[in-house]
């Protein structure tokens, strides 16, 4: 029996959906549908038994079928709200029809209508309850009007038995509905009490959890009554402000005392300004603890106003964000450092979504590409930035190597910077990231502007080519040796100097193999000194060529890094011919110096300003000057008549040279002497005059002899011209060469002319 009852109980629970998670209101709605189905079927049977009306028997069956469909959608499809209004209207219409065919509204049959009204008021939300009431009143008014004005439309009971049975039935199912309503009210009351208890527990737990959460999050809360100027603060807020809970008197000024002095004016201004706004902005300020430590506080404030719009309460939260600020400052510093390093290194970063082909870039990469930050960044955009000569290369590289073989991106290529169309070199690197199925989804990478490096490499390459050309084609030999004296490198000129066919005869050998025995000790000493850091100096050695010829060469070296090690680079110059020429020149100079120092004439050299640069020792016998006395003195000091210097310079600058040019000079003792000058204006390779070379010969005796002859001639000329006798001079042809005045008087002049 117990088993049967349990099954019946489970069936009832299933029909009424007591364990399906429906709310109380919806379960009441569902129960009303079930009861409505049952009562409609019972009502139909009673109408058939009582034979009151066929119509009254059919309508309940129709309503039962309709409510069964509604039950299906409400119970199993959960379409509750969609059927509440239609079902309520149908129930009221159904009860109205029953009233019409069951003697109108009288006695107990009014109860089902009130039950439906109560159910509607319970089930429907508050905003729809007035419509439920209005519909119920409207239908009742309609039935009463019909019953009052058209009683012939009302079907009355055939007997008191029928009325009694109908009333009993109405009381039974109305009572059940009332039972459901009372059960709903009881359950609702119980639920509310449970919720209230739970709410109280939750509130208490919430306060405890809130306090714990505030402690963990470093967040405190406060409430400030603006009318009484008192503040309530959570324990965490007082802890954040380093104020003892027992010592806090509720005065907001106690909190303001903790605010940093520099932030107090701003704090007060922002706080009081916030009173004009319902939702105030965040405020950051500093507070100082009793141990003098400074903390950064973030405050969130909300202002409550009364019905007149006056601020009455300020509530809000405070949070210690010192660590966050430190992290933010460190992050900003890191970002600045990253940005500065990217700027210095001209390095930009990017993220590429492989599937969409979209990429994002850092500010530095936008600068490198010369693009705007908001440009549509796709693979096609990147392709358009690449230099036309590199576009196909990079397209193939990206699709075949990077995406096709899942290789890392590592390529140097050229782009055209978009803002100025300048051709630039970049080095792109990237690494693919994969999903769980090993499919590439994103590539992270960086691109660096390496234009300057490329230009430097090109300059270095050109420089290397230039210097290699100099080294390979120069006249001087170049060799590099290690500190043991082994030759590591030699240029072609060195090979020719030592008369070898190729490098094999020199490279890898000791340099001492090519130095004459008498010079080896000096070479070893010089190399040792250079290794020890001695200053550079020119060294001279004797060398032996591959053919056994002895040569002389000079060299100078310097310590360098060569192939990762210290080495000595040496410049070698063959001076064999130079030494022979110097020796020949020395002999020639000795010969000509002997002539220079023993010649009777005076040789000199002066610059264009007239300063004596050189003069031969013969000047001592010439004018009694010592050679040293005249060098560096003006040549004009030797002129007896200084004006002759200017005349001479004009002549030599015009003609370039002078021959047998006579001058009057003075001796050391200021005596007049006559000289004959031969001088040449020396011109340099650019055609500019540099100095004057000249020679002086003493012609004083000759000039004096000529003067004597002149005077004797003048004497005898006077005797002849004043002689009383005529004097005639004839040549070999018998022609007159000279006739004295007396002779002209004695001869007929025309005859004389013949």
Which candidate, 673, 705, 678, places its Cα nearest to that of 692? Answer: 678
Q: Which of 470-484, 568-582, 596-610 comes out lowest in average pLDDT?
A: 596-610
Q: Do 370 and 316 have their domain in common? A: no
Contact 398, 443 (CB under 8 A): no
DSSP state at residue 671:
-
Compute, in degrees rounded to 10, the torsion defined by CA atoms 654, 659, 660, 665.
50
Contact 94, 64 (CB under 8 A): no
In a domain, 710, yes or no: no
pLDDT given at position 175: 59
Q: Judge whether 155 and 52 are in contact, CB under 8 Å.
A: yes
Structure-token pair, residue 85: 């209004």
Q: Which of 264, 292, 320 is the last residue of a domain?
A: 320
Answer with the residue of higher pLDDT: 241 or 126: 241
In a domain, 712, yes or no: no
- The total of other beta-carbon atoms located within 10 Å of residue 204's CB is 10
527 closest CA partner among 488, 485, 477, 480: 485
Distance from C-alpha of 367 to C-alpha of 349, rounded to nearest angstrom? 11
CATH number at residue 697: 3.30.450.20
pLDDT confidence of 51, banded at 50, 70, 90? low
Question: What pLDDT sits at residue 214?
Answer: 60
In the predicted model, is pLDDT for residue 49 greater than 70?
no
Give the angle subtended at the CA of 567 by the CAs of 563 and 572, to the nearest 5°: 120
Same domain, 55 and 185: yes
Banded pLDDT at 434 (limits 50, 70, 90): very high
Domain annotation covers residue 465: no
- 751 versus 264: the higher-pLDDT residue is 264
Q: Are residues 153 and 259 in the same domain?
A: no
Residue 597's pLDDT is what? 59
On whether both 676 and 573 belong to a single domain, the answer is: no
Is residue 2, in this structure, part of any structural domain at all? no
Nearest to residue 672, comparing CAs of 680, 663, 684, 685? 663
Flag the least confident range among 53-62, 464-473, 659-668.
53-62
Please say if the pLDDT value at position 179 is more than 60: no
Residues 162 and 15 in one domain: yes
More confident residue, 547 or 203: 547
Q: Read off the pLDDT of each residue in 292-310 and give the average, rounded to a whole number.
A: 83
Do 571 and 628 lie in a common domain?
no
Instruction: Reduce the secondary structure of 140-159 to three states and give it as a string.
Output: HHHHHHHHHHCHHHCCCCCC
Section 671-685 average pLDDT: 89
Q: Which of 16-30, 33-47, 282-296, 518-532 has the lowest mean pLDDT?
A: 16-30
Non-local CB neighbours of 499 within 8 Å, separated by 6+ positions: 545, 546, 547, 549
**pLDDT number for residue 752:** 40
* pLDDT, average across residues 415-429: 94
CA 277 to chain centre: 42
- For 266-270, what is the mean pLDDT? 68
Residue 225 lies in a domain: yes
Kindly state whether residues 103 and 165 are assigned to the same domain: yes
Over range 705-713, report the average pLDDT.
78
- Total length of the chain: 754
User: Could you tell me which residues are beta bridge partners of residue 428?
Assistant: 411, 447
Residues 34 and 178 placed together within one structural domain of the fold = yes
Please report which confidence band the pLDDT of residue 4 belongs to, taking 50, 70 and 90 as the band edges: confident
| Structure tokens that stand for 450 in this block | 């390496």
Q: Which residues pair with 410 in a beta bridge?
A: 429
3 domain residue, yes or no: no
For residue 449, the cross-strand partners are: 426
Q: How confident is the model at residue 698 (pLDDT cuts 50, 70, 90)?
A: confident
Looking at 519, 553, 580, the residue that finishes a domain is 580
| Same domain for 262 and 133 | no
120-134, 434-448, 725-739: the lowest-pLDDT one? 120-134
| Percent above pLDDT 90 for the chain | 15
pLDDT of residue 382: 94
Q: Which of 232-246, 268-282, 719-733 bottoms out in mean pLDDT, i.e. has the lowest?
A: 268-282
Residues 27 and 176 in one domain: yes
Are 506 and 500 in contact by the 8 Å Cβ rule? The answer is: yes
Q: Quick one: which H or E segment has residue 588?
A: helix 576-598
162 and 47 in a common domain: yes
**From CA 47, how far away is CA 162, in angstroms rounded?**
9
Q: Which one of 456, 488, 508 terminates a domain?
A: 456
Domain that holds residue 402: 329-456
| Residue 383 belongs to a domain | yes
- What pTM, to 2 d.p., does this model score? 0.36
Res. 223: pLDDT tops 60? yes
Output the pLDDT for position 20.
59
Number of domains comprising the chain = 6
Exposure class string for 206-237: b at 16+ Cβ within 10 A, else e: eeeeeeeebeeebbbbbebebeeeebebbebb
* Residue 513 and residue 631 in one domain: no
| 399 lies in some domain | yes
Residue 233 or 182, more confident: 233
Average pLDDT, the chain: 78
What does each C-alpha distance from 136 to 119, 129, 174 come to in angstroms? 12, 11, 17
- Give me the pLDDT at residue 699, please: 86
| pLDDT one-digit tens code per residue, 403-420 | 999 999 999 999 999 999
- The number of angstroms, rounded, from the C-alpha of 627 to the middle of its chain's C-alpha atoms is 76
Give mean pLDDT, residues 417-432: 94
Q: Which pLDDT does position 753 carry in this prediction? A: 44
């Amino acid at each position: 029996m117990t088993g049967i009852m349990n099954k019946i109980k489970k069936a009832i629970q299933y029909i009424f959906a007591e364990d399906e998670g429906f709310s109380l209101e919806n379960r009441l709605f569902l129960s009303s549908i079930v009861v409505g189905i049952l009562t409609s079927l019972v009502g139909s049977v009673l109408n058939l038994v009582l034979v009151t009306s066929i119509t009254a028997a059919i309508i309940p069956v129709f309503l039962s079928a309709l409510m069964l469909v509604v039950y299906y959608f409400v119970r199993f499809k959960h379409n509750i709200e969609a059927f509440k209004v239609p079902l309520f209207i149908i129930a009221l219409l159904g009860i109205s029809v029953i009233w019409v065919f069951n003697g109108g509204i009288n006695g107990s049959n009014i109860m089902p209508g009130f039950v439906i009204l109560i159910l509607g008021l319970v089930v429907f939300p508050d905003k729809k309850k007035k419509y439920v009431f209005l519909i119920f009143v409207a239908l009742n008014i309609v039935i009463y009007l019909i019953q009052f004005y058209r009683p012939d439309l009302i079907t009355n009971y055939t007997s008191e038995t029928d009325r009694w049975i109908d009333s009993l039935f109405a009381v039974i199912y109305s009572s059940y509905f009332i039972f459901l309503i009372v059960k709903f009210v009881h359950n609702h009351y119980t639920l509310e009490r449970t919720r209230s208890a739970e709410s109280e527990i939750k509130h208490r737990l919430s306060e405890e959890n809130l306090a714990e959460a505030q402690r963990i999050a470093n967040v405190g809360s406060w409430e400030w009554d603006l009318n009484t100027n008192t503040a309530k603060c959570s324990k965490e807020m007082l802890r954040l402000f380093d104020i003892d809970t027992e010592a806090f008197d509720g005065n907001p000024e106690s909190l303001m005392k903790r605010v940093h002095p520099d932030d107090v004016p701003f704090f007060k201004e922002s706080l009081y300004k916030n009173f004009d706004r319902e939702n105030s902005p965040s405020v950051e300020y500093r507070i100082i603890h009793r141990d003098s430590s400074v903390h950064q506080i973030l405050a969130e404030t909300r202002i409550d106003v009364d019905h007149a719009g006056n601020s009455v309460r300020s509530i809000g939260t405070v949070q210690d964000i010192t660590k966050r600020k430190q992290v933010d400052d460190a992050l900003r510093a890191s970002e600045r450092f990253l940005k500065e390093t990217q700027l210095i290194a001209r390095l930009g970063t990017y993220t590429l979504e492989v599937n969409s082909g979209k990429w994002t870039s850092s500010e530095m990469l936008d600068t490198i590409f010369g693009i705007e930050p908001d440009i549509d960044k796709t693979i096609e955009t990147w392709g358009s930035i690449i230099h036309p000569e590199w576009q196909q290369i990079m397209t193939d590289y990206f699709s075949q190597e990077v995406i096709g073989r899942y290789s890392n991106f590592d390529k140097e290529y050229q782009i055209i910077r978009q803002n100025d169309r300048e051709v630039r070199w970049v080095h792109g690197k990237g690494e693919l990231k994969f999903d769980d199925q090993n499919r590439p989804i994103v590539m992270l990478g960086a691109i660096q502007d390496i234009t300057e490096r490329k230009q430097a490499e090109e300059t270095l390459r050109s420089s290397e080519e230039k210097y290699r050309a100099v080294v390979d084609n120069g006249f001087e030999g170049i060799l590099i040796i290690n500190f043991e004296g082994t030759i590591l490198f030699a240029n072609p000129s060195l090979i020719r100097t030592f008369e070898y066919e190729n490098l094999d005869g020199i490279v890898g050998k000791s340099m001492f193999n090519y130095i004459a025995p008498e010079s080896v000790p000096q070479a070893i000493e010089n190399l040792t000194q250079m290794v020890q850091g001695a200053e550079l100096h020119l060294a001279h050695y004797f060398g032996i060529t591959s053919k056994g010829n002895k040569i002389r060469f000079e060299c100078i070296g310097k310590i360098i890094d060569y192939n990762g090690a210290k080495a000595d680079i040496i410049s070698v110059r063959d001076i064999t011919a130079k030494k022979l020429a110097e020796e020949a020149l020395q002999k020639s100079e000795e010969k000509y110096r002997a002539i220079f120092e023993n010649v009777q004439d005076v040789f000199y050299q002066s610059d264009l300003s007239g300063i004596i640069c050189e003069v031969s020792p013969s000047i001592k016998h010439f004018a009694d000057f010592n050679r040293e006395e005249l060098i560096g003195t003006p040549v004009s000091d030797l002129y007896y008549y200084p004006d002759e210097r200017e005349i001479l310079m004009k002549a030599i600058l015009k003609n370039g040279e002078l021959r047998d040019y006579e001058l009057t000079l003075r001796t050391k003792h200021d005596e007049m002497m006559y000289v004959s000058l031969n001088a040449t204006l020396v011109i340099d390779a650019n055609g500019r005059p540099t100095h004057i070379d000249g020679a002086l010969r003493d012609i004083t005796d000759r000039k004096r002899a000529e003067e004597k002859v002149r005077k004797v001639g003048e004497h005898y000329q006077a005797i002849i011209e004043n002689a009383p006798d005529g004097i005639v001079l004839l040549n070999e042809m018998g022609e007159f060469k000279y006739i004295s005045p007396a002779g002209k008087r004695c001869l007929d002049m025309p005859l004389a002319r013949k």
